[in-house]
Amino acid sequence: MLLKNNYLILFLLSVVFFGCTTKDREKKNIKLSEDSLATYLSLANDINLPFKYKQDYNKKAFDIIINQKDDSLNRVNLFRIANRYYNMSDWNSYLQTTKLVLERSKNSRDSVNMAKAYGYLGDYYKVKSIADSAFMNYFKAEKLYLKINDHYNLAKTFLSKAGLQYNEGDYFESEISIFKALRILKQRKNVNDQLYDCYNLLGILYSEREEFDKALEFHHNALSTLTDKSIPADFQLKATSLNNIGFVNLRMRNYSKAKMYFRRGLDEKNLYKENTFLYAILLDNLAYSKFKLKESGGLPDQFYRALKIRDSLSIKSGVVLSKIHLSEYYFSRKDTFKAIQYSKQALVLSRSLNKIRDILEALKQIETVDPKNASVYTREYIRLNDRMLKSERKMGEKFSRIEYETNEIKDQNSNLQEKNKTLVYVFSICTLVGLFFYVYKTQQAKNRELLFKQQQQIANEDIYNLMISQQNDIEMTRIREKKKVAQELHDGVLGRMFGVRISLDSLDKIDEAEAALKRKKYLTELKNIEEDIREISHDLNREKSELINNFVLILNKLFDNQQNTYPSKLITAFDSQIKWELVSNAVKINLYRIVQEALQNCNKYARAKTITVEFKSEINYLILAVFDDGVGFNPHRTKNGIGLHNIEYRAAECKGTVTIKSAKGEGTLLLVKIPIDQKINLQKK
């Protein structure tokens, strides 16, 4: 019995010892696994290692993580794997890893990591230029971040979406997304890196829209955020901003300033080592600004050096731009052969990339240096430009449709899941608040409209008083003229006619021969009296014409003031068929104000040498045309200011229409078409 007990004790001791040894081994294995994971992840992110080695180390890290427990830490580690695949541009592995994280997050109802996974998917489709899929995933991430009140990541998502919208030419929506991000970021601390991205993208966006003052303002704002030392210097963000500011000045033709900023960018420490791509851009831009300043120092060597760097980095779009710049350079040097050669190379490469913007730039250059085939390149340019504009418009519409359809699905699911009294109460309260807000906003809008109409009424009264004053002046002149005519008739014509009549009566008392001579003399006197009466009649007709055309006189005073104040040459024309007496005072007042506003716009913005104002009559219409040969603008990209809004409002008051035709460097045509009642048609039958 004792022997059995000893065996039992030994057995129990061995079990306990073995169990302890197993647990210690598991802990040791976990510790070794964690150490190996950290090592593999670090090596996978080492920029000095070849791609194959980094990929192998990341795969080893993935094999460790995939066998661990599926929890929040496990999903964080999977995101680290995805980040390394992103950095090494292994897009297929990046996509598969992100989809795995998303699936695990959905199964665990982990909204935080679901939103992050959608953001990662958006980045993938953005890199792959699948814009609609990228937008959809960003939008899903945005909704989840809103739901969990993660405002910081919400702002980052808005910024990512803004970059996508900018790339697809949807500038208006991109601007809205950036300002949404800014509203969030300005309420937080230590977010200067995100603020930099917002300001930088706004600067690029406004530069694209040719609003250069705003572009410079936001690029300088971006530069000011870099005083925060927490932003790593090796990102070379300062050099990026200096390049962007220089590029805006380059587009504004401030070549000296552009050259200064590009040189400052190139002087940034370790730029070539830490961001060779940016170094090549700055070098090419510096060379181009020197070329525009007609400086020969360092040219064309700097163009070739930038081209060589871009080619070594396989930056095809940069190679296209470098060759276009070289073509411009050699064309200015009268070396037509090299100019055509480089422009053709740029065109062939851009076509292989299938990037329409690059192709358009290459076509623009080659049609300049190869005039023999310019018509062929011009037709292709117009066709591609139209296609690009349609594509950008369609993409903007597609983004709106995705957002709308996603909201629709979400609303439907929400309505099916939540059918309770609390929702009804909340909905009722929200409806009341929304109704109150709507009524409040509507009343504000009505008040603004009423104030605007009051201001318009005051302006109309001023013009009406001016017309009444002019009418009174003409009336006083007419009275003076009547008195003058009456005096001339009484003192001159009547007296002379009385003398002739007395003389004719005396002819009966003299012989026939003498009477014939005197009769001839008196007939001549009657003819002179007839001419005097005709002269007086013409004076009266001129007075009537001035009375009818007093509106024309008012306009001529405005035109005289314009010519005396501004250097632009003013040409005016009035259609003689216009019956101003049939045009209502309301129409005259609005036409006067439109002409006044149009001249003011020409003086402030157009920098025109010649301005033409013309009134024409068409069947059932009165036409006002104002044309200037100034700098022009893009009416599709420029928002209407208060001046253009006033012109449209006044035309609408007369039930008329406004057409504006303009382009950069081609002047501006303002066409106002006012309908006239057929009963008082201005066109003479």
Mean pLDDT for 1-10 is: 41
Mean pLDDT for 423-442 is: 82
Q: Which residues contact 526 (CB under 8 A, 6 or more apart)?
A: 500
The pLDDT confidence band at residue 12, using thresholds 50, 70 and 90, is: very low
The CATH class of the 551-680 domain is alpha beta
Residues 360-370 have pLDDT tens digits of 888 888 888 88
For the purposes of burial, counting CB atoms within 10 Å of the CB of 639, is it exposed (0-12), middle (13-18) or buried (19 or more)?
Answer: exposed
Give the HSE-up count for residue 607: Cα atoms under 13 Å, Cβ half-sphere.
6
Q: Quote the pTM value.
A: 0.53
| Residue 18 confidence (pLDDT) | 42
* Cα 472 to Cα 416: distance, rounded to the nearest angstrom: 76
Peptide bond into 300 cis (omega under 30): yes
Mean pLDDT for 128-153 is: 89
Length of the chain as a residue count: 685
Q: Is the pLDDT of residue 405 over 60?
A: no
| Residue 1 confidence (pLDDT) | 39
Q: Give the highest mean pLDDT range of 277-286, 383-392, 399-408, 537-546.
A: 277-286
| Residue 489 confidence (pLDDT) | 59
Mean per-residue pLDDT of the chain: 80
| Residue 488 confidence (pLDDT) | 57
Mean pLDDT for 646-669 is: 89
Query: The sheet that has 668-675: what strands, in order across it?
Result: 569-574, 610-618, 621-628, 668-675, 657-662
Residues 86-121 have pLDDT tens digits of 988 899 999 999 999 999 999 989 999 999 999 999
**Which of 685, 679, 660, 673 has its CA nearest to residue 621?**
673
Residues 180-239 have pLDDT tens digits of 988 988 888 888 888 899 999 999 989 988 899 999 999 999 988 888 777 777 778 989
Residue 326 backbone phi and psi in degrees, to 5: -65, -35
The pLDDT confidence band at residue 433, using thresholds 50, 70 and 90, is: confident
Residue 662 backbone phi and psi in degrees, to 5: -160, 160
Q: Is the pLDDT of residue 541 over 60?
A: no
**Which of 99, 100, 40 has its CA nearest to residue 64?**
40
| Residue 309 confidence (pLDDT) | 92
Mean pLDDT for 326-346 is: 91
Q: How many CB atoms lie within 10 A of CB 192?
A: 19
Residues 284-334 have pLDDT tens digits of 999 999 999 999 888 999 999 999 999 998 888 899 999 999 999 999 999
Give the HSE-up count for residue 538: Cα atoms under 13 Å, Cβ half-sphere.
6
Q: Is the pLDDT of residue 612 over 90?
A: yes
Segment among 127-141, 146-160, 205-219, 445-459 with least mean pLDDT: 445-459
Residues 456-479 have pLDDT tens digits of 667 666 666 666 666 666 666 666
Structure tokens at 498: 């009385």
Domain regions of the chain by residue span: 424-548, 551-680
Q: Which residues contact 27 (CB under 8 A, 6 or more apart)?
A: none
CB burial of 648-664 (b: ≥16 within 10 Å; e: otherwise) equals bbbbebbebebeeebee
Structure tokens at 99: 């989809």
Structure tokens at 37: 């994971």
Segment among 81-85, 540-544, 657-661 with least mean pLDDT: 540-544
Q: Are the beta carbons of 287 and 326 closer than 8 angstroms?
A: no
Q: Is the pLDDT of residue 452 over 90?
A: no
| Residue 14 confidence (pLDDT) | 46
**Which of 130, 138, 65, 57 has its CA nearest to residue 91?**
130
